[in-house]
Structure 1
Amino acid sequence: MKHGCRSCRSRVHPIVYLSFFVMSLMLVQYYVKSCVIIPTPNEPQTSTHFQPVGYKAGGASHFQKLLPKDASTDTTTEYLVNEKANHTSKEKVLPPMLLEGPDKFITWNKSTWSENTVLFGRSRNITGYLTIGIPVVKRKREGNRYIYATLSSLISATTASEKEDIVVVVYMSDSDKAWNMETSQQINERFSGYIGAGFLQIIHSPLNIYPELGKNANFNRDSKSRTAWRSKQNIDYAFLMWYSKQLSKYYLQIEDDVISSRRFFGDVQNFIKRNSAIPWVVLEFSRMGFIGKLFCSDVLPRFSTYLLSMFNVLPCDLLLTNFRTLHNQASPIFHRKGLFQHIGKISSLRGKISPWTDTAFKDPVDQSSFDIHWDNPVAEIDSNMDAVRGSFPENAYHKTKNKSLFYAVKNVKTNDFYKVVFSNPINISRVVVSTGHPVLRTGVLKRGQVKVGKGPGGSGDRCRPDQVVGSLYEGEFDSEIQEYYIPPNVKCISVVALCNVTKPVIIRKIGVNIQT
């Protein structure tokens, strides 16, 4: 019996038809207004699993009929460009990438894939059991080292025999091609043995697969920069899935800033077997975004096309929810424990910090192992917060061998503060504040500000922090990642509460680096 991915025989809920009708109507209106034609995959479908209502395997020919008789597939780009020049209305025609996208991915044969796409690695002669796809993008500072932790985790968590059933595809998807090449070379040098064995492949793509990013249908009301970021993410995922669709029986998507649990591969296999008696389109091994989503590989062409057709409408995780619902899987199917943990606080979206973790992760994680070096110059610590007995403010700032120490307070009142006063004014390059439990995210100071001061205040105050640097986001603050300006000659830093908190709060870490 083929595990999972069977045709759904269950009675379809009316809401599925309603959702499909609304989405179809929205897509038709969007395509007509944009003058964009999206072909469906023209290769033969090897499976009939989860065929949505109205789906036709030969759909590409239907869209081709919409072109003029003299417009062949090879000249559709030129045709659309000419049409754009003749278009007199104010509404612009979208770039022709959406027409070329899936078609371009499909028509590349195996040798062309190898020549144009693979930077390092080789294909195996047999189909594997599991492909793990990892899109990689450039991040600030130590964020670029996340991918090494991710790969090391996958390698250490699998046995030699398991590695023969797994292919890890690292997709260098940043727009900075020089960085892609440099980083891929570093990965190749560090993991050369696994690349030579066919366990690890590194690929990239040409920049011309991307249309103009930042435009959307205003369904999610995101900013232009965020829309461009998530739109590119959808296209990246589609490209990675098209490449991976024939490597293994199953495909698992993770991110470049996660670590895996021990023996995750066996857990994945067992979960697939346990769900073999029910129809499914996606199994989930994490409750975070698009991390740990598993598909049958024969579903990848259809889902990739869906991502491309809706690339600028919604984020990938919401598109996955729609896709799953339209394919008769009404609810997500989660593994009881998370098998992949998010470790990266530095988001690939500029100016964003991402402190999220999977609270259901299977294994304990020492988050301090991912900390960077802090200067933390000599300073006096002062706080008016109501501390838990035996907990001291110095625990969050002073360096000790016990990295698990923190400052715990019973509750917090508005304008309560935690202050660091330096011996002499210093020039600071970076300030980091972390509150709450690093995994469970309890004890977080959600509403707070970081202030700095340059001189003494009234009533004998050694330093009065009177200049706001920025705000905490979900209990975290990083001046460099969030792009906050820190003035020169700082005498003191203060973390100030902006509201009452009746529950205990943890001030876990205060990090300060000095300009060199």
Structure 2
Amino acid sequence: MRIYCKTTTRLAVILFILTSLYLSYSHVRKKTNEEENFWLWDTLWSPQEVQTDRLSLNVSVSVLAGVLQQNKKFLTVGLCSVKRKKESYLLDTLQSVFSQSSQKELSEMVVVVHLADFDDNWVKDTVKSISDRFSQQLAQGHLLVIRVAQENYPPLTGLKRNFNDPPDRVTFRSKQNVDYAFLLHFSSSLSQYYIMIEDDVSCAKGFLTAIRHHIQSKGSSPWVTLEFSKLGYIGKLYHSEHLTLLSRFLYLFYQEMPCDFLLSHFRVLLMQSEVIRFKPSLFQHRGIYSSFQGTYNKLKDEDFVEELADNPPADVVTDITAYKDHSPNKAYDQGIEYFWGTSPINEGNFFMVVLHTPVKLSRILIKTGSEDKKDILSSAVVELGETVVRTEGSPKCFGFHKLGVLEGGRFEQRDISGTFHVPVSCLRIRVTDSQLDWVIIQNIQIWTEKQN
């Protein structure tokens, strides 16, 4: 604990110095010439200069494709890409970003791709591939492709081997930190918010709208990072006003630890001690082979849902006793929290979602239990009700029809409107066999039938 406190204090002091220097000396200048667009990152005292080993931060960022817009967007989606030994997923990732967004969402978004490989031929070929496939997005200012020349990078060999990583791994992750530092700094004035993804992900439909709703749900509560995936640094959202500081932070500690570790330290240093993560996840890792040596990578986010639930406004009620502040609504509001009910759970107990307005449903997904398969609701039936009577107490629902049963603590059914034609007022989970274990209801997700 003492060592941790000393480390945290030292980081805080260095960050304060870094911030002070930034406010005193740093500004971004943009210029154009007949050949290329550049963003100039003015010289600033770097950590190596503090240690008497001079390393300049006079960096020119080349815009290889796309049109810089004058108006500020709502969201920047930023990603870095390098040459892979096996499959490349960059074009598919970009296709997912654009195809899963409406025209209105695209008008509020800019995607910035940093081609961070030192192979000139690969960069040239990749720019051509992007230009051929996404010419419209480039012309409309929805997509920018940038690069920083190799001579602008700090030393990437002979670095400290923290975590006992082999030298090639240290070089890879250290360069990755610098890649993102340059990307973040370039993106700092493009939009109100910035989200970080990788070049091998797929996106949930309407992710920008979901992000906006989650930001609004925070109200005036301060935050540094909102997370929309549980994997690494995928889906990490920041205020753009913090990007310049974050880019300096990544650059300052580029050889110390991997990027996701540094992002966690940055969040804590800016006084957000707890992770704020939303469910379902909006981004899924799709790559099979890692960008580091092409090794097999099977990481998947189990909380990802490609088509986000509608979850129309509703009251959530239950006769199961909630543990502390794990209230019933937390199973329905699509946040990271959940309902947790204490035992005994008796036959006939219920958990019910009472919709404010009757709707036709197309799909329902219910998940119970913890990630390690504990506190599962073992025996229950899912029912749909047609009529609600609201009194001074809890609302009452009538006219129930059985839809199905939970299996392994889980229930999912699609195409509900094909068998249940009338608008639904209530969804009820009714316990059919008592259990001694407590019960966790992770989430209840409802999709409504869309009008043609």
Normalised by the shorter chain, which TM-score bucket? 0.5 to 0.7
TM-score of the pair, normalised by structure 2 = 0.59
> What is the alpha-carbon distance in structure 1 between the residues aligned to residue 25 and residue 127 of structure 2?
38
Give the partner amino acid of 1:314. M
Instruction: Assess if the C-alpha contact under 8 Å between 2:84 and 2:294 holds in 1.
Output: no
Q: Secondary structure of the equivalent of 1:58?
A: helix
Q: Does 1:122 align with 2:75?
A: no
Give the partner amino acid of 1:323. F
Instruction: Assess if the C-alpha contact under 8 Å between 2:93 and 2:201 holds in 1.
Output: yes
Which among 297, 312, 318 is matched to residue 354 of structure 1? 297
**Which residue in 2 is equivalent to 1:58?**
24
Instruction: Assess if the C-alpha contact under 8 Å between 1:19 and 1:326 holds in 2.
Output: no
> What is the alpha-carbon distance in structure 1 between the residues aligned to residue 268 and residue 231 of structure 2?
18
- Listed one character per residue, the Cα deviations across residues 83-105 of structure 1 (whole Å, up to 9, x for unaligned) are xxxxxxxxx975x43xx22xx25
- Listed one character per residue, the Cα deviations across residues 31-57 of structure 1 (whole Å, up to 9, x for unaligned) are xxxxxxx965866xxxxxxxxxxxxx3
> What is the alpha-carbon distance in structure 2 between the residues aligned to residue 199 and residue 340 of structure 1?
19
Q: In the superposition, relative to structure 1, how do residues 330 and 24 fare at CA in structure 2: closer, same or farther (>3 Å)?
A: closer
Q: In the superposition, relative to structure 1, how do residues 74 and 311 fare at CA in structure 2: closer, same or farther (>3 Å)?
A: closer
> What is the alpha-carbon distance in structure 1 between the residues aligned to residue 44 and residue 188 of structure 2?
27
Q: Does 1:139 align with 2:62?
A: no
Give the partner amino acid of 1:133. G
Which among 190, 196, 206 is matched to residue 263 of structure 1? 206
Give the partner amino acid of 1:284. E
**Which residue in 2 is equivalent to 1:20?**
8
- Listed one character per residue, the Cα deviations across residues 363-386 of structure 1 (whole Å, up to 9, x for unaligned) are 289xxxxxxxxxxxxxxxxxxxxx
Question: 1:215 Cα shift?
Answer: 3.6
After TM superposition, the structure 1 = structure 2 runs for residues 232-271 of structure 1, keeping only pairs within 5 Å, are 232-271=175-214
> What is the alpha-carbon distance in structure 2 between the residues aligned to residue 340 and residue 166 of structure 1?
16
> What is the alpha-carbon distance in structure 2 between the residues aligned to residue 349 and residue 236 of structure 1?
14
Give the partner amino acid of 1:58. S
**Which residue in 2 is equivalent to 1:191?**
134
- Listed one character per residue, the Cα deviations across residues 441-460 of structure 1 (whole Å, up to 9, x for unaligned) are 99xxxxxxxxxxxxxxxxxx
How many residues are aligned here? 291
> What is the alpha-carbon distance in structure 2 between the residues aligned to residue 232 and residue 336 of structure 1?
31
**Which residue in 1 is equivalent to 2:242?**
299
**Which residue in 1 is equivalent to 2:357?**
none
**Which residue in 1 is equivalent to 2:337?**
none
Question: 1:276 Cα shift?
Answer: 2.6
Question: 1:332 Cα shift?
Answer: 1.0
Give the partner amino acid of 2:11. M
Q: In the superposition, relative to structure 1, how do residues 22 and 74 fare at CA in structure 2: closer, same or farther (>3 Å)?
A: closer
Instruction: Assess if the C-alpha contact under 8 Å between 1:16 and 1:328 holds in 2.
Output: no
Q: In the superposition, relative to structure 1, how do residues 189 and 279 fare at CA in structure 2: closer, same or farther (>3 Å)?
A: same
After TM superposition, the structure 1 = structure 2 runs for residues 31-42 of structure 1, keeping only pairs within 5 Å, are none
Which structure is higher in strand share? 2
TM-score of the pair, normalised by structure 1 = 0.52
Q: In the superposition, relative to structure 1, how do residues 15 and 329 fare at CA in structure 2: closer, same or farther (>3 Å)?
A: farther
Q: In the superposition, relative to structure 1, how do residues 24 and 216 fare at CA in structure 2: closer, same or farther (>3 Å)?
A: farther
Q: Secondary structure of the equivalent of 2:264?
A: helix
Instruction: Assess if the C-alpha contact under 8 Å between 2:80 and 2:199 holds in 1.
Output: yes
Q: Secondary structure of the equivalent of 1:149?
A: helix
**Which residue in 2 is equivalent to 1:338?**
281
After TM superposition, the structure 1 = structure 2 runs for residues 29-428 of structure 1, keeping only pairs within 5 Å, are 57-58=23-24, 96-97=54-55, 100-101=56-57, 104-105=58-59, 117-141=62-86, 143-144=87-88, 146-363=89-306
> What is the alpha-carbon distance in structure 2 between the residues aligned to residue 288 and residue 15 of structure 1?
28
Instruction: Assess if the C-alpha contact under 8 Å between 1:214 and 1:231 holds in 2.
Output: no
> What is the alpha-carbon distance in structure 1 between the residues aligned to residue 280 and residue 7 of structure 2?
30
Q: In the superposition, relative to structure 1, how do residues 122 and 59 fare at CA in structure 2: closer, same or farther (>3 Å)?
A: closer
- Listed one character per residue, the Cα deviations across residues 96-124 of structure 1 (whole Å, up to 9, x for unaligned) are 43xx22xx25xx6xxxx5xxx10110111
> What is the alpha-carbon distance in structure 1 between the residues aligned to residue 227 and residue 45 of structure 2?
39
- Listed one character per residue, the Cα deviations across residues 251-297 of structure 1 (whole Å, up to 9, x for unaligned) are 01100000101111111000111113321111111100110111000
Question: 1:140 Cα shift?
Answer: 2.1
> What is the alpha-carbon distance in structure 2 between the residues aligned to residue 204 and residue 41 of structure 1?
28
CA RMSD of aligned residues (A): 3.2
Instruction: Assess if the C-alpha contact under 8 Å between 1:41 and 1:302 holds in 2.
Output: no
Q: Secondary structure of the equivalent of 1:175?
A: coil
Q: In the superposition, relative to structure 1, how do residues 325 and 235 fare at CA in structure 2: closer, same or farther (>3 Å)?
A: same
> What is the alpha-carbon distance in structure 1 between the residues aligned to residue 44 and residue 155 of structure 2?
20
> What is the alpha-carbon distance in structure 2 between the residues aligned to residue 364 and residue 164 of structure 1?
21
Q: What 5-or-longer segments of structure 1 have no aligned partner?
A: 1-13, 29-37, 44-56, 61-72, 81-91, 366-440, 443-516
Q: In the superposition, relative to structure 1, how do residues 20 and 198 fare at CA in structure 2: closer, same or farther (>3 Å)?
A: same
**Which residue in 2 is equivalent to 1:473?**
none
Q: Secondary structure of the equivalent of 2:68?
A: coil
Identity of aligned residues (%): 33
Instruction: Assess if the C-alpha contact under 8 Å between 1:132 and 1:166 holds in 2.
Output: yes
Instruction: Assess if the C-alpha contact under 8 Å between 1:339 and 1:362 holds in 2.
Output: yes
Instruction: Assess if the C-alpha contact under 8 Å between 2:66 and 2:143 holds in 1.
Output: yes
- Listed one character per residue, the Cα deviations across residues 137-183 of structure 1 (whole Å, up to 9, x for unaligned) are 11123x22x11111111111111111110000111111212101111
